[in-house]
Structure 1
């Protein structure tokens, strides 16, 4: 009996996550592009810091700026989806 209740609770939780994660196509595309760009910038900044070209604080600032840009791209994609009615 406990197993069945656990499976029901797990299924309900999984379904609720599926509903929350319904992003539109433009938001998904913008999020993917932003994450890819941020990853490239992060890797470059890390390499520069490792080579002694920039400080750790500068690396953090560059990384934060790249992640902020990725977030803005995702928000713009979400706005575009909302404007389209998705």
Structure 2
């Protein structure tokens, strides 16, 4: 499911990139790269949780969820920052 969401998100970014300025794309890509790194951390945490049991598994899954939320917030901040760049132009 996550792969589908990532592919759809990437396709949306590619479609929008044709309309954006180079500076706007640079800003948005920086945030997107950071969010992707956070998603990778969350995936690793979830993989680790699969090898745990009980409360340790729950703690790892909760940590992964928090990282995923941070990744989404980073993407939203990137969109806002890119919009701010676009509004200046």
| Partner Cα separation in structure 2 for residue 62 and residue 26 of structure 1 | 27
Matched, 1:55 2:60: yes
Secondary structure of residue in 2 paired with 1:40: helix
How many residue pairs get aligned? The number is 67
| Partner Cα separation in structure 2 for residue 20 and residue 48 of structure 1 | 32
Structure 1 pair 57/82, CA: closer, same or farther in 2 (3 Å)?
same
What is the TM-score of this pair, normalised by structure 1?
Answer: 0.58
Offset of residue 21 of structure 1: 4.6
Query: In the alignment, which residue of structure 2 is the partner of 1:78?
Result: 83
Flag structure 1 segments of 5+ consecutive residues without an equivalent. 1-17
The root-mean-square deviation of aligned C-alpha atoms, in Å, is 2.6
Large movers: runs of 4+ above 6 Å:
none
Structure 1 pair 42/20, CA: closer, same or farther in 2 (3 Å)?
closer
What is the TM-score of this pair, normalised by structure 2?
Answer: 0.57
